Amino acid sequence: MFVSDLRKDFYDVIRGKRILVLVHFDIDGICASKILQSLFRTDHILYTVVPVQTRTDLINSFQQHAEQVKHLVLINCGGCVDLVDLLQPPDDLIFFVADNHRPLDICNIYSGEQIRILTKLDDDEEVPAFDDVFREDESEDEESDEEGQKRPRFDEEVLEKRRARRQWEQQRQKILFDYTQFSHYGSSTATLMFDLAWKLSKDSNELLWWAIIGETEQLMSERIEQDKYLLVTASLQNHVSRLNHKTQDEQPLDCLRISFEKELRLALYRHWSFVESMRHSLYSATTLKLWTLKGEKRLHELLAEMGLPLSQCRQKYCGMDVSLRNELQPLLESKAEKYGLDNLLFASFYITHGFRSRFSAMDYVYATSALLETNDKEKTAADAFLEVTDSLSISKLTVLEKGIESSKQQLEAVYRQMQTFLDMNQVISAGPFLYATVIEGTPDARFFAAPHCLSLLARFTLRAHVAVSRSKKSRSLPLIITTPDVRASEPNICLVCGIPPVSEESHRNFFGKAFEQAADKTGSKAHLEFFDTNIIQLSVDDRSKFFDALISLLS
């Protein structure tokens, strides 16, 4: 069932109870949990937070902690699986599900009181009607007449009922397939939790900043479309104006301030050199084709027309002349159309704390994503989760700066691998899709054995391939990328990630369902464990037949 009033039907219900919060390994989920934890501490609510990355983690965490609680909050996990069937919970245990993954499982939606869904569906999301997917079982073998006498199974009325049931089941399968064939994402869960804080009159600049980071991650990961981002941004801007209405003179020097301004779609450019940021940003690199000699010349031409000396652009942004730094954004905006960089600027937010450096929401997303998928073998997933939680606190800027440096290494690895794919012609057309494989033993392979970084590599590779490809068909082809899973506990396991084609305006992804069907058809050793269904673990030995089945399915 859907919860219409978050304050009355969610927060007032759990107030005074002990709560188990299961949080998915993504930045939006962690930001949402930070907001919720802040509310819990304000009202002295006892809670336990457990990070989960896969369905197995969800089951294990539930079995380990569920006996101590009667109320569970699931953040960005569990909405797309039948929770009652998966976890077998006692009848008096209540789940509150705030999940941005779509489509939501139909059993969760119609479960009654036990599973309560906090997220709201978008206007374009349609849920099948209850009567179309559920009905009471009827005996197929025999029917009783009015006098209680059993009639034979070949009775004409019985046969008619069986025929009608088969037709209903066929129709049900078609309806469920149409509903579940595309995976996509709904609104940010962090924004949902901030709305709750606002309704409880417990909102603050820090909570608002976490909501902004969650929404920005949705955009940067291409989980929501630009128009939906703009709608939410307008609402967030109203909150920014409300909470930051005082002038700088009226506020203490160490006050936290959020501002709404235009932002360049360039990775970490305030913490990097301008040239390096241009080269390692997906949008500018693929638009100007910066991995080619021609692209490098175009970049130099752009800098020359802007009047920016190369020596200034190759040093750290903070070391550039102040006059050049101040003119950088307007100069780029004036030359954007000529160089095809029309979408280089977008509406975003900045944060300042006293006299410290300014950080944009994009900076936070890059840094926290890198910390979450750390390559440090001594750190567990839980350690990385806690480090990201720390980096979101305004007082822990040293952790954030560490994340920024890690993110630079990650972006450099993605760029090198993308260039290798193109230079070696390793992006291959398989008919209905393109595919590329990170070769085992590649030094940077350790970066890609994580869902976020692998998805970034896939998006970078597909757009770069389309930019240089002579075939017009490449724009309408999706991409599948595989890489050795060096973090897996089993040997000979690879990660497989599928993304939709560049020509698709919506970010709906059909690979989740396609991977599931190909694995069933071939009997491949595949682990469909991730909540992001377009990424799976697959045995290297089964990769060939798995791809053959995908080609057959998608042709």
Concatenating the DSSP letter of every residue in 177-221 gives HHHHSSBEE-S-HHHHHHHHHHHTT---HHHHHHHHHHHHHHHHT
Domains and CATH numbers, the chain: 6-125 (3.90.1640.30), 204-265+344-414 (no CATH), 273-340 (no CATH), 426-554 (3.10.310)
- Please classify residue 130 by burial: count the beta carbons closer than 10 Å to its beta carbon, then call 0-12 exposed, 13-18 middle and 19+ buried: exposed
Is a pLDDT exceeding 60 seen at residue 532?
yes
Q: What average pLDDT does the segment 369-379 reach?
A: 86
Query: Residue 369's pLDDT is what?
Result: 94
**Cβ contact 234:45 at 8 Å:** no
Find where tokens 């890059």 sit.
Answer: 366
Is a pLDDT exceeding 50 seen at residue 424?
yes
Helix axes 189-199, 27-42, angle to 10 degrees: 20
Query: Residue 154's pLDDT is what?
Result: 57
Q: Express each pLDDT in 11-41 by its tens digit.
A: 999 998 999 999 999 999 999 999 999 999 9
Query: Residue 142's pLDDT is what?
Result: 45
Is a pLDDT exceeding 80 seen at residue 220?
yes
| Dihedral sign of CA atoms 212, 215, 221, 226 in order | negative
Q: What average pLDDT does the segment 38-58 reach?
A: 93
- Gap between the Cα atoms of 322 and 75, Å rounded: 43
Confidence of residue 141 (pLDDT cuts 50, 70, 90): very low
3-state secondary structure of 12: helix
Say which range, 146-155, 307-316, 340-349, 502-511, has the weakest mean pLDDT.
146-155
**Cβ contact 532:498 at 8 Å:** no
Concatenating the DSSP letter of every residue in 442-463 gives -TTHHHHSSHHHHHHHHHHHHH
Query: Residue 26's pLDDT is what?
Result: 92
Concatenating the DSSP letter of every residue in 454-498 gives HHHHHHHHHHHHHHH-S-GGGGG--EEEEEE-TT-SSSSEEEEEE
- Gap between the Cα atoms of 268 and 264, Å rounded: 10
Q: Express each pLDDT in 429-455 by its tens digit.
A: 988 999 999 998 888 888 998 999 999
Confidence of residue 192 (pLDDT cuts 50, 70, 90): very high
> Cβ–Cβ contacts within 10 Å for residue 530, how many?
19
Query: Residue 1's pLDDT is what?
Result: 81
Query: Residue 555's pLDDT is what?
Result: 82
Query: Residue 254's pLDDT is what?
Result: 59
Q: What are phi and psi of 16, to 5 degrees?
A: 85, -5
Q: What average pLDDT does the segment 239-257 reach?
A: 71
- Gap between the Cα atoms of 531 and 81, Å rounded: 9
3-state secondary structure of 434: strand
Confidence of residue 138 (pLDDT cuts 50, 70, 90): very low
Say which range, 158-172, 190-204, 398-412, has the weakest mean pLDDT.
158-172
The candidate with the shortest Cα–Cα distance to 121, out of 133, 106, 135, is: 106
Say which range, 219-223, 242-246, 412-416, 442-446, has the weakest mean pLDDT.
242-246
**Cβ contact 154:69 at 8 Å:** no
Query: Residue 139's pLDDT is what?
Result: 44
Query: Residue 137's pLDDT is what?
Result: 60
Is a pLDDT exceeding 70 seen at residue 140?
no
- Gap between the Cα atoms of 26 and 388, Å rounded: 10
Mind spelling out the 3-state secondary structure of 220-243?
A: HCCCCCHHHHHHHHHHHHHHHHHH
**Cβ contact 116:104 at 8 Å:** no
What pTM was computed for the model? 0.91
Is a pLDDT exceeding 90 seen at residue 293?
yes
418 to 156, 275, 314, 511: CA distances (angstroms): 65, 18, 22, 21
Confidence of residue 409 (pLDDT cuts 50, 70, 90): very high
Q: What average pLDDT does the segment 208-218 reach?
A: 94
Q: What average pLDDT does the segment 385-402 reach?
A: 89
Q: What average pLDDT does the segment 478-495 reach?
A: 89
Mind spelling out the 3-state secondary structure of 305-347?
A: HHCCCHHHHCCEHHHCCHHHHHHHHHHHHHHCCCCCCCCCEEE
Q: Express each pLDDT in 145-184 by its tens digit.
A: 544 555 555 577 888 888 888 888 888 888 888 888 889 9
Confidence of residue 5 (pLDDT cuts 50, 70, 90): confident
User: Residue 68 has which token pair?
Assistant: 């101590």
Question: Average pLDDT of the chain?
Answer: 88
Find where tokens 């940003």 sit.
Answer: 281
Q: What average pLDDT does the segment 192-211 reach?
A: 93
Q: Hey, what amino acid is at 274?
A: F
